[in-house]
Amino acid sequence: MVWVLLVATGLLAVLVGALAWRVRGLERTLRSTLERSLAEPAAPAAPAEPVPAPQPQFVITRVGEPEEPVAPAPTVPAPVFADLLLKETVVQTASLLHGVRRALAPETRNRIRFHVRQEVKRSRKQRRADLRDFRREWAARQREGTAA
């Protein structure tokens, strides 16, 4: 495991070294290009023909145009909004309380208790049957071993 870490560390060190060497080379190239461009006197630019500006295909802004009136978003008056919000909250709360009350009702608890007892009885019966089968097989193997 240690040798894997050593190999990975070595590879990373080689990679970092190669990158540093490449950066130094690019730095030297950039420096020489910059020195050459500063050493040469700037030649007077020849008068270039004016290039017509391309016509915009899409205009995003409407600078200088009158603003169109924006229709206000439909709103609900504050009392109506509060009424709707409270009704929804009350309905959800009542629904939750009804479900809790129903889950904790005596009939539901008794039904759950009955089914749990029934399942426990079934599992005990199954366990006893499995134990009887195991003992029967074990006794048969013992008899075969002593008879031989």
Whether residue 143 sits in one domain with residue 83: yes
pLDDT tens by residue, 5-39? 888 899 889 989 999 999 999 999 988 988 888 88
CB 84 within 8 A of CB 76: yes
C-alpha to C-alpha distance for 148 and 146, rounded to whole angstroms? 6
Domain residue limits at 123 = 78-147
Whether residue 142 sits in one domain with residue 84: yes
Q: What is the DSSP letter of 77?
A: -
C-alpha to C-alpha distance for 16 and 10, rounded to whole angstroms? 10
- pTM score, whole prediction: 0.35
**12 is a domain residue:** yes
Q: Report the number of distinct structural domains present in the chain.
A: 2
Q: What is the DSSP letter of 142?
A: H
**71 is a domain residue:** no
Residue 21 belongs to what H/E stretch?
Answer: helix 2-39
**88 is a domain residue:** yes
**44 is a domain residue:** no
Query: What are the distances in angstroms from CA 145 to CA 131, 132, 136, 142?
Result: 21, 20, 14, 5
pLDDT tens by residue, 45-86? 666 777 877 776 776 777 777 888 888 888 888 888 888 888
